[in-house]
Amino acid sequence: MPARSLLADLTWYDFVDCVKSDPIIILPVGSVEQHGPHLPLSTDTLLPQALAEAVAERMGGLVAPPIAYGYKSQPKTGGGNHFPGTVSLDGEVLVGLVRNVINELARHGLRKIVLFDGHMENQWFLVEAADLSLRDQKMFRNTDLRIVKLGYWDFISKTTEELLFPDGSPSWELEHAAVMETSLMLHIRPDLVRRELIPNDPPAKFPPFDIYPFDTRPIPATGVLSPAASASAEKGAAVWTQVVADITEALSKAFDKQTSNV
């Protein structure tokens, strides 16, 4: 079998051999969403895809082709779905798509599935997809499927957070296209970052309630919800090193525990 961990690079013969080793398979789920004037619309897909490949390489796992579309960008976490270029799915469409992919992977014998989220707005729809696919699998008497859902930002340690934000951090909800994402992109895909356009917007201020249609006036014109000027490739490398190691460890424990309970 080829050394690469990408499912799409395998032949079906390779795939059959690979499944025999009971590997984890990671499904990156991102979005097509504005990320200010300096980052590409694919940021939320590029980051989980790259991190997933690094984790899979360490674990001898597979990475499925990513789901590149996500749930609608929200004003308080992503600037909002009204920004040009943002292409989103209705919630039930995302749930159905992820549910279908999980069921197909399980049908082919994969039992350790990771939903690797790169877009904060996806999270509850991934929970629903996991819940429904587990229900589906029970109908087929498959009770040994385990699904782990994670957002890579939840693995950023306090030490790394202090490196990213030496003067104190905004909420993670406002870290959209700001220091963390920009730093990671500077580390993995500097060719896609327009450094001269990195904004330094002050943190957005939103009321503690939502009105629909949403009042877009509190959203910075760039779509970046907090300052990004202090981003650097060095900070991105620090996040990468720490997060890849900790996600690998966490997944190893999660699936080892499942094995011991069978």
Q: Which residues are known to be catalytic?
A: 33, 35, 44, 119, 121, 176, 181
Indicate the length of the chain as a whole number. 262
DSSP state at residue 252: H
Backbone angles phi, psi at 115, to 5 degrees: -90, 105
Query: How many C-beta neighbours within 10 Å does residue 39 have?
Result: 31
| Angle, CA of 252, 20 and 115, to the nearest 5° | 45
d(CA 127, CA 136): 14
Distance CA 3, CA 6 (A): 9
Other C-beta atoms lying within 10 Å of the C-beta of residue 141: 6
DSSP state of 207: -
Using alpha carbons only, what angle is made at residue 192 by residues 53 and 194, rounded to the nearest 5 degrees? 145
